[in-house]
């Protein structure tokens, strides 16, 4: 419940950044031009990073806000998957990665980002995209062209 509440708050916080009239590619996120499949994967990656770094408030806030924004630029079955990425995220973050070379120099390295990257490139996430993303090869801009104002 806390997770869903946080996602709703973060989603509301991103509303001012969404541009509907013009394509401000230099000053706005590029997600509207990427496919729904890519944006879904990016959203899960951002969610993974937010979860992995929840004890680092600035990183978690930024990653969580990014995940919420990406939700606006993808098209997936929200009924089947309001938090479908969460079990995958939890499973990948629970992995126990070790690197003796690194750990001999630095204690307590958890390799959280590496786990999130492995999730991003996993067959598990690819399968989830196939199951949940509607029109995976379409883009937000393709399906929502800017309206032309008439004077």
Q: Between vectors from CA 14 to CA 12 and to CA 17, what angle results, nearest 5°? A: 140
The per-residue pLDDT for range 8-58, each reduced to its tens digit, is 444 444 444 444 444 445 677 787 788 989 988 998 998 899 899 888 877
Complete DSSP assignment for 98-118:
--HHHHHHSTT---HHHHHHH
Over residues 96-110, the pLDDT tens digits come to: 888 756 665 666 677
Mean of per-residue pLDDT scores for the chain: 75
pLDDT attached to residue 84: 78
Q: Where are the beta strands (DSSP E) in the chain?
A: none
Query: Phi and psi at residue 133, in whole multiples of 5°?
Result: -85, 125
10 Å CB burial of residue 24 (0-12, 13-18, 19+) is exposed
Structural domains present in the chain: 2-17+34-140 (1.20.120.1620)
11: left (phi over 0), alpha (psi -120 to 50) or beta: alpha
What number of residues does the chain have? 151
């Amino acid at each position: 419940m806390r997770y869903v509440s946080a996602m709703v708050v973060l989603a509301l916080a991103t509303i001012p950044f969404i541009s509907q009239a013009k394509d401000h590619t230099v000053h706005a996120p590029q997600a509207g031009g990427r496919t729904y499949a890519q944006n879904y994967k990016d959203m899960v990656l951002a969610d993974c990073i937010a979860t992995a770094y929840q004890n680092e408030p600035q990183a978690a806030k930024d990653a969580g806000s990014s995940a919420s924004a990406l939700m606006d630029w993808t098209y997936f079955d929200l009924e089947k998957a309001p938090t479908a990425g969460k079990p995958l995220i939890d499973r990948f973050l629970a992995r126990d990665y070790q690197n003796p070379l690194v750990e001999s120099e630095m204690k307590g390295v958890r390799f959280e980002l590496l786990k999130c990257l492995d999730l991003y490139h996993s067959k598990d996430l690819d399968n989830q995209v196939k199951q949940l993303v509607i029109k995976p090869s379409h883009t937000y801009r393709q399906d929502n062209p800017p309206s032309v104002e008439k004077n």
